[in-house]
């Protein structure tokens, strides 16, 4: 089975670089590249991908709104956020919006491919450093809440 992917990022060089890197994966095919949310939706309708790799800063919609729109209109599509923002609030908001994965733009190709394969199995994928940060954040919130009782 070929995994069809749409890349949504407002920077052309990022889209082209990702497409070039992913072309080396025998079962992955980048079927479209979009610079904004509106184009992403149009390409989804045209190509029916399994995955959208989405920057969370698009010119016509933030990543949370774009993700909500994608997963509500196309519930079978998995969204993987690819961002430079490592703040836990961004990660949590993207997951709450329906993203299946969140990676930082400094990740290696191998990690992106692992995320693609993971979300196709209906699991959530987070970069290891993001997972650690979220667990620490959650643990500190639980400690604060318990201390308030």
In this structure, what CATH number is given to the domain that contains residue 135?
3.40.50.2300
- Token reading at 48: 């029916």
Distance separating alpha carbons of residues 52 and 49, to the nearest angstrom:
7
Three-state DSSP state, 105 = coil
Residues of the chain with pLDDT under 50: none
Q: What is the pLDDT of residue 114?
A: 97
DSSP states of 7-19: EE-S-HHHHHHHH
Cα–Cα distance between 79 and 98 in angstroms, integer?
Answer: 7
Cβ proximity of 13 and 33 under 8 Å: no
Can you tell me which residue has the tokens 């930082």? Answer: 104
| pTM (predicted TM-score) | 0.90
d(CA 43, CA 52): 10
* pLDDT tens-place string over residues 49-76: 999 999 998 989 888 999 999 999 999 9
| 101 φ/ψ sector (left φ>0, alpha ψ -120 to 50, else beta) | beta
pLDDT of the residue at 140: 73
Q: DSSP class of residue 77?
A: -
Enclosing domain of residue 93: 3-147
CA distance to 39, 137, 138, 145, per residue, from 148 (Å): 48, 17, 15, 5
Give the number of domains in the chain.
1
The pLDDT value given to residue 141: 73
Surface-to-core class of residue 29, CB atoms within 10 Å of its CB (0-12 exposed, 13-18 middle, 19+ buried): middle
């Amino acid at each position: 089975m070929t995994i069809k992917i749409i890349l949504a990022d407002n920077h052309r060089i990022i889209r082209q670089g990702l497409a070039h890197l992913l072309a080396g994966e025998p079962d992955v095919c980048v079927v479209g590249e979009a610079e904004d949310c509106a184009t992403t939706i149009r390409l989804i309708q045209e190509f029916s991908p399994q995955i959208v790799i989405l920057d969370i800063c698009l010119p016509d919609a933030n990543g949370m709104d774009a993700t909500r729109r994608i997963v509500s209109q196309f519930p079978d599509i998995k969204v993987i956020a690819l961002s430079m923002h490592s703040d836990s609030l961004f990660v949590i908001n993207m997951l709450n919006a329906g993203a299946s994965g969140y990676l930082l733009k400094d990740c290696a190709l191998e990690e992106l491919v692992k995320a693609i394969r993971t979300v196709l199995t209906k699991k959530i994928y987070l970069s290891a450093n993001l997972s650690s940060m979220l667990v620490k954040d959650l643990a500190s919130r639980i400690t604060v809440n318990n201390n308030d009782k």
